[in-house]
Structure 1
């Protein structure tokens, strides 16, 4: 280890460490910070106040009740840019200066000594100080302070009234009052105990109904939707009330360990969330069906049966005891139910007829069905009351009903040792584990397809889904595509990007290096290189960057009557002509620069000149000849004396140029025909690989995660798809408008290449 002598000090009684003055007596404020604060003028702008609060934050350990002292500053910051430095702020500012001028010395605690903490609560904050006692004098060690949330400042009136009432009476009086209340309580014949559970594996609820005869009806609910703890508690209450209604109860006593649900039903708490309001209304509607009811909060340890059922329902492994009824809810109770599946043990499953035939020799009345059952039963046997099938991968495979099949598949696919394999692999693994049912392979494919983790990490779809849509321009310089290249190595003048424009007819290219990508630079480029050079175009195609999708650029297009079209987000093929030219420019720059990558801006004109004077396969002409009617003279012709340079005659050249201009229109027509033929040939090849896939309005889809929105912290383990979105519109040509709940519709259509069906 090497030490810098300049930065090292040894054997000193005191010194500065981490911005504080540390010595044998304790820790003091850095005098330089105090001096800077004393000289600070009263803040006037938002940044000044932010600088002040930042300085005070670093000194908060020395300031008693710092939140109360800084409250005027925090109120001023809430106003944003419209900050007002009022009289209260100035008083607090001067008081802090005075306080920090005599800031306390913080003592250091000794090992094994007793420390004391003092708490102080004001209307807006709670503060504390940790102190130690030395020779009868208490010395501070650390000050803390925390602002109260708005909800914490509003004490419930009823709770406060009860506290005041209790404080006025002695303990014997309370006991007598409690005994009188217990004696006056009515005993209900029906009792309902409910509990809800929500965790990372799932959510569910438990219901226990005690009848007047002393019997108990136990029921567990498994939710096929995500639910919070409070929602699960409400689902449990609603399900329990429905069970009591079916059993004919007219009065019921309800016990729940959810304080929120109980107090909301009793109108002690107010439901603020929209879903909670809906749940509360439904619960009260069900309670009105009873002549009388009472609901009370009980600790969890007094609600053990319902709690155990709720935990069982929310567990990953969904193998249910036959004595317990399981109800599977496909959607919340506040949504009109489409389907509710109830399973009681294995009654009426595919196992029953085979087992009845083997054990009791019972056959169906239909002769054909009886014959078929006899044939099937030859490969089955009953051991210890369970049905087994003689298999090939395992000698005996336990037959399971639909109530267990789902849990087995989910456990093998996404349990602690699951590998999220495909449907066929999942079915094979289930067979090897010793389980069987007739629809195993179909169920395995369904579970694998609906697994949320599998859907989010699935490979990207690269096969084209829509027929190729070619873009053609009717005449030179009527349709331009604009795109950006970069970032690239910093060039002369600080340029890091390049803006490129391509004419769809002549393939003529204009490009300029840019230091910053701004709306002003983009508009200036369009005016100088397109409008003032080639006239007003009919169409400009760009990406969705803010430099193009902004008010000023739109106003420019509207002013000159230009149609501005945007490519689909993250689907560069929509502006394919420009993307193809970008590749050529970058390829040629790499070849020219070698190791001097920072000279790309100087080489850019040479690359553009080379591109403009090279014949294009799609048109059979060079962009230069398509624009000017003649081929340009390049340096090699003058260096090595090409025939047209040697035989150059000015008078004849002028005549030939005029003839070339007369022929230009015909050449452009031939180029357009050739370009159309080229596009058709490309389309035939592209369309031969297309596997069409269309979505309908209302479909739920996953959207491929863009590189810009991918979780950078997860790196290679990041999800490839995000969900859920809903198809709300068809934009045409394989593009769809999608909406995400809570976020609204995306501003641009999304190509089908980046979408796939989501299975909830």
Structure 2
């Protein structure tokens, strides 16, 4: 140990470029002075030097992305240097802000950390805070939105900020309980991500952390007050326009929602109803779906446009509701309406609602099929009895690449009915293996049943399928029966033992059943999120057993032969030794 390099009992010192004191972590004064004394840049190289010095102090600057946005715009142009008045103003304001940089606190093990989120049109930000006698800043994070990121809606920007923070500040998220302080419905949106596919991916990434959501209270610390008030999200207070429509045909019923953001960005939602509904019932469904979509994006003021006269007048109170079913729809709409500050339903001509009308017609024709029979002749019989006779002739059928699905006879039979054959990719084994896994589970249960009671497997098959449909799956968390019908069926053991729902059965359960149907989309969305997280855990568990192997220049390697067509089993699975000449 070199005594000249050791320092004990110091109340102040420089560590990793920061000044560590009893008060907390302070910015290095030499870095601050270098930025304050810097003259306005005269070329692109000096702008790069400026942005680099700002980045070095980014954890202390609550609005770093906003301060540096004019400078990054210069770098994006690259071929032409232009320092304008906007850059001059931002440069001077930044120098003034550097005179009062906050002192950052150190997190305490066992105490939760608070997070404040913010978003603007071009940037998002985050502030880490610990709560002692008062809130103390721990870390500031900023990010300039690029390309598709700038087109995210308000709540998506906040969710993206949280995911970005979990990626860059992962140690904080792993070691502490994170409390997100926000007045937006961010927590509810992340648990119900049916409005956007990217939210499902973000929810999966955040599911491994202990994150809680609480409403934001009054902020007393000046640095945080500047961060929130000057970089706040104003979208919830803006008026959102929602166009809704419905379509009822012999093929089924569908509803559509077309939502316009304050920046005229469009969000389309098309839903097929799994039951026959009248035009008025479908119109009410579309109005409720429109409010649900608005709630998911955090809207506060909504105006709904519908080309149907009756629901619009009934919800406004001009017409009386005499139909009992429509009265239930109106009650559900009024209950959902309480989540908003302002909701207006307005009648518009059909010509002004054309886009939503086309989406509704499309939704009323959507259908899906699954094929499971292994013999080509039985495949044709199954398609005829269980698909065509029940749902009509489909446009296409999706299957794996087994011989019974690619035979000449089945292909000609499908072409005769105008049915297109689509196959899952060989390079995506998860899709190809779904049917095989289902068949393996059926065979396992059949074998157990036949070993105990004997008999014919054909007679036992319906009971086995029923048991599989009524068994909760670990990945989804609910039974397949619940995901399809929105509720659980009564099993024989409940009759003999008399479960709670058998003892408290109410014959008039129409309203409860309608509520279950309204909530089925939320149940399915949660199952998707849970299943995605379950697959992620399985992937991580599998990767732990994988032994990494690295190749270097000069190593001799073999090339694996991929089977193409009918390849003999005696053919070598590897070919030639090859020499690695370059590592990319």
TM-score over 0.5 (shorter chain):
no
Q: TM-score range by the shorter chain?
A: 0.3 to 0.5
Which one scores higher on RCO, CA 8 angstroms, separation ≥ 6? 2
Q: TM-score, normalised by structure 1?
A: 0.29
Question: Which structure has the greater CA radius of gyration?
Answer: 1
